[in-house]
Chain A
Amino acid sequence: MQTDALHLGRVMAVARNTFREAVRNRAFLGLLLFSVAFILSSILLSALAVVGEGARVVVDFGFFAVGLFSAATAIVMGALLVYKELERKTIYTIVSKPIHRYEFILGKYLGLMAILCAQVIALSVIWVLVILMRDGDVSLEHAKGMALVLMEVGVVAAAAMMFSAASNPMLTGLFTLGVFIVGRLVYLIENMLQAPKGLFVDNTFARAFGETVVAVFPDLSVFDVSQQVLLGVAVAPGYLLHAFSYAFAYALIFMVVALFAFERRDFT
């Protein structure tokens, strides 16, 4: 019996192929090497720090670098993944096979997540080695911190998929970068909205704008526990679960919009 149900085998075939493309892409490998070099450079930076603070600098710098480079990969690759399929017309021989368009987009997203996962793990290993070189302590909290970084880029990647399903790479890149930057600043706007005085309190228009931004954009500060890890405070499992649910909900919304946009497209 031939069925039209979702078929995980097809989704995984697309995901595996997306991952393979990145591994064989010199630009991606170049970015990976550059980010490794960037993290290694924290050895020099930590040498300038106050005695005893070297390892702390490396930890802080590592969170910053892994988050930044992984987000850059999510934005650039997310903007290009679907676009390249359309531009190079490889989509024709895919969509004409017995595959749902949503399976294709889902496969692309999972492939991108596999790439991001590999990147975060590879950079984390370098980061941990550098911390150990600087006589710092490494605990499970560091791993939890990196898991949260991965959740953050998962949201960013889903936003890129959403924009790329309906627009060109330039706009996708700009919009996704916007989501990333605003997402990291949402907590500041939230604080300003709750302050007793200030622009977001006194001006009705600014307040409405601030409230809309807070309501629409994901608060990416949820995924930043670098200060907690630096201070040696444990990240509670409940918090991890909360952050994962938050990331999953946003990624799901972005992906549903992406699927609808892609479903309506004509491949001319």
Chain B
Amino acid sequence: MSEAAAASGGITPVLAFEKLTKEFKLGLRLTRVQAVRSVDLQVHQGEIFGFLGPNGAGKTTSMKMAMGLIRPTSGRALLFGESVERPAIRRRIGYLPEQPYFYDYLTGAEILDFYGQLYGMPKKARQQRVDALLTLVGLDHARDRTLRRFSKGMLQRIGIAQAILNDPDLVVLDEPMSGLDPMGRKEVRDIILQLKQQGKTVFFSSHILHDIETICDRVAIIVRGRVERMGSLGDLLTANSGSVEVVGTDASAELLARLQTDGLGAEVAGHGHRWVVEEARLETLLRALMDGGARITHVEPMRESLEDLFVREAGAHHAD
């Protein structure tokens, strides 16, 4: 049993990084640069896992090691408990690289047919699958158009189509929403959610926090080659709770001044005012506002946004 399987109670993770490390030698002096540093990570069956990090954090390098495009300096990447070096294991995965490039002399249908041949799919099955995928990604109209006449968004759709061509159990998407307009981003999000509904596992990277926040079950934040935080969004984002946000209108200047004196200073928010208070002082604030004739429009426990967390993690290292 691999370390990853042992760590997850005997259930083999769909994707596991075990002390995954990559070192590049750059320049004439062969200066060593560690792009990925001893990353341990497990992605389980059926989850959408977000890999979040600033540019140059090591997301793409880690994903390429998982796909067998780059060999780790030490540690290993396992797919379904097996080495990615085995081509047969790659039948169960689909991969969309960052800013994907394709043979631009082929048409939309031809490129998918070519990839189908690499999976050893019979001709008839290939044709049916290609037709279904072109419809799914909305490229029916461009099936006979060469890829050099495709827009960036259309290429991204072909990229997603080829990543799910083989009906994979694990789909690895490197910045799948990058370069897409809001409509395109929504469509990709919908496809990812559809994949989850079909029981597939999705591992995708993004620096667009909103995309990760809205669809991921679990997240890992990678900064300078190291995974700094990992867990469910709920676990990661409630760590700093205990504060409550209150928004109110019609508070008189006198009331505001009195609250200020009591340590409940407000900030202007739209047409009203906003307070962030500890739970213990919430009742005092609400009572003062109601007694003072103000209208309370919004009371909500403060939840740290993924952006706050991300900025904090990335910022801490930036300050190092």
Residues B32-79 near A (CB distance < 8 A) = 61, 64, 67-71
| Among B82-90, B214-222, B286-294, B296-304, the stretch in contact with A | B82-90
Tell me whether A9 and B120 are in contact (CB under 8 A). yes
Quick one: given A7-B120, A90-B101, are A98 and B88 in contact (CB under 8 Å)?
yes
Docked CA distance A100–B2 (Å) = 24
Give Cα A69 to B97, complex, Å.
Answer: 38
CA of A227 to CA of B117 in the docked complex: distance in angstroms?
46
* 0 or 1 for each of B103-128: is its CB under 8 Å from A? (1 = yes): 10110000000110111100000000
Stretch at the interface among A19-27, A133-141, A179-187, A201-209: A19-27
Chain B residues positioned under 8 Å from A118 (CB to CB): none
Q: Which residues of A contact B99 (CB under 8 A)?
A: 89
Pick from B71, B90, B101: contact of A96, CB under 8 Å:
B90
- Beyond A10-B120, A99-B87, A99-B118, is A93–B93 a contact (Cβ under 8 Å)? no
Q: Report A228-262 CB contacts with B as 1/0, cut-off 8 Å.
A: 00000000000000000000000000000000000
Within 8 A of B (CB), among A1-19: 2-4, 7, 9-10, 13-14, 17
Q: Which residues of B contact A266 (CB under 8 A)?
A: 69-71
Interface 1/0 per residue, A72-109 and B, CB below 8 Å: 00000000000000001111111111111000000000
Are A98 and B105 touching (Cβ within 8 A)? Answer: no
What is the interface size of chain A, counting residues whose CB is below 8 A from a CB of the partner?
29
Q: Please determine whether A95 and B117 come into contact, CB atoms closer than 8 angstroms.
A: no
Interface size class of B (residues with CB under 8 A): 20 to 34
By beta carbon, the residue of chain B nearest A87 is B101
B95 at the interface (CB under 8 A from A): yes
Contact between chains at B115 and A93 (CB < 8 Å): yes
A268 at the binding interface (Cβ < 8 Å): yes
- Cα–Cα, bound, A94→B116 (Å): 11
Q: Which residues from A are CB-within-8-Å of B103?
A: 17, 21, 90
Q: Could you tell me if A96 and B93 are in contact, using CB atoms closer than 8 angstroms?
A: yes
A13–B91 touching, CB < 8 Å: no
Q: Does B156 contact A (CB under 8 A)?
A: no
* Cβ–Cβ < 8 Å partners of A98 in chain B: 87-91, 118-120
Q: Which residues of A contact B162 (CB under 8 A)?
A: 93
Main secondary structure on A side of the interface with B: loop
Q: Digit string of B223-263 for contact with A (CB within 8 Å is 1, else 0)?
A: 00000000000000000000000000000000000000000
Q: Which of B99-155 contact A (CB under 8 A)?
A: 99-103, 105-106, 114-115, 117-120
* Cα A94 to Cα B114 with chains together (Å): 10
Contact for A4 among B64, B70, B88, B93, CB less than 8 A: B88
Cα-based distance from A98 to B117 in the complex (angstroms): 10
CA distance A10 to B118 in the complex (A): 5
Residues of the B chain whose Cβ atoms lie less than 8 Å from the Cβ of A7: 120
Q: A25 and B105: CB pair below 8 A?
A: yes
Q: Tell me which residues across on chain B come within 8 A of A89, comparing CB atoms.
A: 97, 99-101
- Interface contact B118-A94, CB-CB below 8 Å: yes
With both beta carbons as reference points, the residue of chain B lying nearest to A92 in the complex is identified as B97
In angstroms, how far is the closest chain B Cβ from the Cβ of A259?
15
Give the distance to chain A from B16, nearest Cβ to Cβ, in Å: 17
Complex interface residues of chain A between 94 and 150 (CB less than 8 A to chain B) = 94-100
CB distance from A137 to the nearest CB of B (A): 42
Whether the pair A267, B105 counts as a contact (CB closer than 8 A) is no
What residue of chain A has the Cβ atom nearest to residue B110's Cβ? A20
Q: Could you tell me if B120 and A267 are in contact, using CB atoms closer than 8 angstroms?
A: no
A267, B64: Cβ atoms closer than 8 Å:
yes
Q: Verify B70–A9 contact, CB threshold 8 A.
A: no
Nearest CB on B from A168, distance (A): 16
Q: A10-B118, A96-B67, A98-B118 are in contact. Are A90 and B102 (CB under 8 A)?
A: yes
The 6 A-B pairs at the shortest CB distance, nearest first, are namely A13-B117, A2-B88, A92-B97, A98-B87, A97-B118, A267-B69
Interchain Cβ contacts under 8 Å between A and B, 21 examples: A4-B88, A7-B120, A13-B114, A13-B117, A13-B118, A17-B114, A20-B105, A20-B106, A89-B100, A90-B102, A92-B64, A92-B95, A92-B97, A93-B95, A96-B69, A96-B90, A97-B118, A98-B90, A98-B120, A266-B69, A268-B64
